[in-house]
Amino acid sequence: MKQLILKTKLKGRDEFEAKLDRAGIDLSPIYWQHDRVYLPRGFQHGANFPRLILRTEMRAIDRPAKYTLILKRHLEGGGVDIVFSTKIDDYQSAAGMALQLGFELASEVSRKRQEAKLDKNLGTLFLDKVEGLPNFYCKIERELKDGDKPDFLREDLEAFLKQLEEPAFTRDSYAEILAK
């Protein structure tokens, strides 16, 4: 699947949530995600190398965690990510396979997250509080379909966010932001 991702650092959570509320956008309850990000040996920025992400997600304390293996490749020129994900049952085995395939653990990212489904043209909005970062972030993910023009869709997403916030857009992943 191809995804267009737009992320911005927020000035403040309360004001942003109030604007979402006035726009009729309801956020889900808070849940927790933890990503272990694996990069291939010899990883170079801008070379379109894949990343593997082992994600643990807990939506409720009385339910077991869910585990997902995500393969992500960022296409630098177009600002688009190619994303494949699969549910896994054995976290330890998946981590071992990542290492055997030549990937190395590069970083870990924990976040508390809320989400809201926007209309089909905008995708899904996430409100994230990443451990180790002082601000909240808003992230919108939009699946691209055949024939979609990423530049036009990005403009629509940016216009939507500009209605809610004076955005400070970034294309860096949370792992990259934490590493700075």
Q: How far is CA 161 from CA 24, 158, 176, in A?
A: 14, 5, 22
Residues 83-96 have pLDDT tens digits of: 999 999 999 999 99
- What is the structure's pLDDT at 123? 92
| Residues contacting residue 131 through CB under 8 Å, at least 6 positions apart | 109, 110, 111
Q: Which domains does the chain have, with CATH numbers?
A: 2-179 (2.40.320.10)
Which residues lie across from 49 on neighbouring strands? none
Element (H, E) at 7: strand 2-9
Q: pTM of the entire structure?
A: 0.91
Count of CB atoms situated within 10 Å of the CB of 119: 7
Quick: pLDDT tens for 123-175.
999 999 999 999 999 999 999 988 888 888 889 889 998 988 788 888 888 99
**Each residue of 49-96: pLDDT tens digit?**
899 999 999 999 999 999 999 999 987 656 688 999 999 999 999 999
Residue 129 φ/ψ region, left for φ over 0, alpha for ψ in the -120 to 50 degree band, beta for the rest: beta
